[in-house]
Amino acid sequence: MYKLLHDGLFLILLTFAGLLFSDALLPGLVTNKISFTKITLFLVAVMTLIGFLGKKLSISYPQKKANKNRLLPVIVLFSFLLIGNSLLKFTLWQNIIITLTTLFIFFLFYELIFHHEK
């Protein structure tokens, strides 16, 4: 059951990423039919089940050290463009400020998750 949940989580994440990408390219194509809130709640439910079963079965993984990635600037640029595209109703300066703030918050989450004591 634990392995099936992990495989299901991987498939849900791939589907979610594909839907987000397609909705970013053609806004309203996916969101008219499927609510991202439902998919997000389903993702949270699956992750909660994985965490619950992992604790029940005493399954744990060592924390990995984050490697520097050469794709990181490309991912940041792509994220900047996607976030900026979703905020086209705002003025240019509001769009830039909101996008940079969002990327800064993502950076703080990244540091929080992969922070290592020295």
Query: pLDDT tens digits for 68-116?
Result: 677 777 887 888 788 778 778 888 888 888 888 888 888 887 777 766 6
Instruction: Return the pLDDT at 65.
Output: 66
73 vs 44, which has greater pLDDT? 44
pLDDT at 5 over 70: yes
Structure tokens given for 110: 């990244």
Global pTM reads 0.52
Q: pLDDT tens digits for 48-70?
A: 898 888 888 888 777 666 566 77
pLDDT at 43 over 70: yes
Tokens 């595209």 correspond to what residue?
85
C-alpha distances out from residue 54 to 3, 7, 45, 64, 97, Å: 10, 14, 14, 18, 40
Using left for φ > 0, alpha for ψ between -120 and 50, and beta otherwise, residue 116 falls in beta
- pLDDT classification of 42: cutoffs 50, 70, 90: confident
Give the list of residues 6+ apart from residue 103 with CB closer than 8 angstroms, or none: 76, 79, 80, 83
CA pair distance 89, 62, nearest whole angstrom? 44
Instruction: Return the pLDDT at 54.
Output: 85
21 vs 115, which has greater pLDDT? 21
